[in-house]
Structure 1
Amino acid sequence: MNKIILVIEDQPEIRKLICMTMDYDGFEVHESDNGDSGLKMIKALRPGVVLLDVMMPGSIDGFQVCERVRADPEIAHTPIVMLTARGQQSDILTGRRVGCDEYLTKPFSPLQLIEIVERLLEKGR
């Protein structure tokens, strides 16, 4: 099982909370604070799961990161969890359209996040 988790989140305090939540059971947690570097890290690290914010600084947002991952055959299979404050039905539909596996709105339950990540990692064995 690939226990590499990549957190792409621009807010340091939220990134820290997510990293602390996922820092157990041998997970290797990596961080990025924007979509551009996050996309490069997905290609370099080949994470088991990506936890991806939608609204970020830089030239691409989370939806665009997800679209680009799904369009790249080498990394298209990477499970992506959108983790965002944008909880409108239209945002959730956009997340599904661009290919995210799960869509969690902030504030999120750390236990729910762990359950989702573990389920996605089990599927990807």
Structure 2
Amino acid sequence: MTKKKVLIVDDNADILALLHATLDLAEVFEVHEARDGTAAVAAVATLQPEIVLMDIMMPGPIDGVEACRQIKAAGGDAAPKVVLISAKPVDQIKEGAKSCGADLFIAKPFGPVQLVESLTALYRT
């Protein structure tokens, strides 16, 4: 079975390490990392991942919503699936997640099983 490339994007090193370890344990993902929205947009262009798992709230000029918008616009029909994650209540960020073309939103906190199942389901569609 070919591993699916996943780019995880978060400015918090602890969260990034936890996401990376969780996805590594599933043994179905090839995991790559970026620390902010700008790096995520650049990494998608070179890595061409199938899935981008990205925090919404990140410092810098490009947050997760804007990075999602740019990734989807640049990739067109071949754009990766984008999963946005956030600790903010769903009702506060749902519109932004929809408007940028995100394929899925997962609220923090979430469990490792939920994360792996959600990402696995995405590349089956």
Give the 5 Å matches for 1:12-51: 12-23=13-24, 24-51=26-53
Q: Gaps (5+ residues) in structure 1? A: none
Tell me the TM-score normalized by structure 1: 0.90
Cα displacement (A) at 1:26? 4.1
Q: What code does the residue aligned with 1:8 have?
A: V
**Superposition RMSD on alpha carbons, in Å?**
1.6
Cα displacement (A) at 1:77? 2.6
Which consecutive segments of 4 or more residues in structure 1 shift more than 3 A? 73-76
1:61-113 superposed Cα distances (whole Å, 9 cap, x missing partner): 00000111121145753101001112241311210121111101111121111
Count of paired positions: 123
Cα distance change on mapping 1:75 and 1:34 into 2, 3 Å: farther
Task: Give 1:100's aligned residue.
Answer: 102
Cα displacement (A) at 1:59? 1.2
Tell me the TM-score normalized by structure 2: 0.90
Structure 1 vs Structure 2: percent identity of aligned residues? 33
